[in-house]
Structure 1
Amino acid sequence: MKIRALLTAAALTATLPALAQDAAGTPPPAEKKTPPKGQTAKALLKDAQGKDVGEVTFEQTKNGVLIKGKLSNLPPGQHAFHVHEVGKCEAPGFTTAGGHFNPTKKAHGLLAPKGKHHGDLPNLYVSQDGTVQFDIFSQNGLTVKSMFDKDGSSVMVHAKEDDYHSDPTGDAGGRIACGVVEKS
């Protein structure tokens, strides 16, 4: 009995694909398409003297925003890195960029119990030669679309590292490089 069941199962398995098609034939399976790229944006950063510092790109994905950057001419060490609420970067202090991008009015900090701002991002580590290259994935509510509200957004590098909990700025110090987020 077991042998008959096994032989029947084997025969059905071998003929199932042929049985699944009707006499007219079914179209071949659709080719797998690469999913369309998400919405993208970029920011060209400059320091307080107007020198180019580099570029940061943003790509919307199904699960968050992929943020990539390659920066240079920065002081070595840890530096806070945030998205700010206004798309203006007037040197030397870049105060026109406003505070951190925070549409939900949360407390500051990736480690804060009542945080985090949508613009809170991990610190950047700048090497001794003044360069940093990074890939960050933000899943804290930030979207590419949200950065294009009525006054736009900017991206900022600060003089000191973010402590990830002090409100409202993480004790990040002055603003040393800024770039307006633009559609790409």
Structure 2
Amino acid sequence: MRTALVFRVAVPATLLALAACASTPSSPDSSASSRATGPAVSTAKGATITLMPASGSLVSGKLSAAPIDDGVRITGEIGGLAPGSTHAIHIHGKGDCSAADATSAGGHFNPAQQPHGRVGSGPHHGGDMDNFVADARGVARVDVHALGVSLGGGDTDIGGRAIVVHAMPDDYVTQPAGNAGARVACGVIQLIP
């Protein structure tokens, strides 16, 4: 009689353990994008960003953000750069530019837990965007895209986070931030409802 009771308890426990294993991803390299909550959907019509100097630079600017089909388009003008210089621009996870070197903005915004890379060319952070180039006067007209992010909607929302301009270009390879150098300007993304 005692053997039958042990068998009745052991079988359900074994079945529960097997069921738990079946719901776990089968391989450790499963795509992190499958953990995302679905497509990025914006609920705000736009945002403004006022970039302020960081790390002792003179870099500043005004940017606007607007939703596009597959993410967010960021446009505007940044000045105080070296003539003809190339710079990285990223969305960072925290909307805090209070540190003198803008490290308070944290690392790149990365809701899908992807490696750093070039936007539109395989895996990349939600905050990864293409480099921009300053003109002969040290002014850049910026027109970049962040894919897989939104303005005002869900886990991919960039509202309230920070845009950071870096001293050097992004190499799109070096982890976790593209070897882009010091943070020379920072601004918080302010949503327009």
Note whether the superposition's TM-score is higher than 0.5: yes
Rg larger for: 1
1:41 matched to 2:26? The reply is: no
What is the CA-CA distance between 1:75 and the residue it aligns to?
A: 2.4
Contact 1:88 1:153 in 2 (8 A): yes
2: CA distance between counterparts of 1:156 and 1:111?
16
Q: What is the percent sequence identity of the aligned residues?
A: 35
The answer as to 2:185 corresponding to 1:174 is: no
Aligned partner of 1:157 in structure 2 is 165
Q: Which residue in the other structure is 2:18 paired with? A: none
Q: 2:75 aligns with which of 68, 74, 99?
A: 68
- SS of residue paired to 1:67: strand
Is structure 2 residue 140 aligned with structure 1 residue 132? yes
Aligned ranges 1:33-112 → 2 under 5 Å: 39-48=45-54, 49=56, 53-76=60-83, 77-110=85-118
TM-score, length of structure 2 as denominator length: 0.68
Any conservation in 2 of the 1:112–1:164 contact (CA below 8 Å)? no
Contact 1:106 1:114 in 2 (8 A): no
Distance, in Å, in 2 between the alignment partners of 1:178 and 1:127 is 20
Partner secondary structure for residue 181 of structure 2: coil
Q: In the aligned structure 1, how far is the partner of 2:119 from the partner of 2:51?
A: 27
Matches of 1:175 and 1:52, distance apart in 2: 10
Aligned mates of 1:112, 1:55 — CA distance in 2? 25
- Counting only pairs closer than 5 Å after superposition, residues 6-17 of structure 1 correspond to structure 2 as none
Distance 1:80 1:50, change over 3 A: closer
Distance verdict in 2 for CA 1:38–1:112, change over 3 Å: closer
Amino acid at match of 2:176: P
Aligned alpha-carbon RMSD (Å): 2.3
Runs of 4 or more consecutive aligned structure 1 residues displaced over 6 Å after TM superposition:
111-114
Q: Deviation of residue 64 (structure 1)?
A: 2.7
**Compared with structure 1, are the counterparts of its residues 64 and 96 closer, same or farther at alpha carbon in structure 2 (3 Å cutoff)?**
same
Q: Is the 8 A contact 2:166 2:183 kept in 1?
A: yes
SS of corresponding position for 2:158: helix
Aligned to 1:24: none
Q: Number of matched residues?
A: 144
Q: What is the aligned partner in structure 1 of residue 40 from structure 2?
A: none
TM-superposed deviation, 1:142 = 1.5
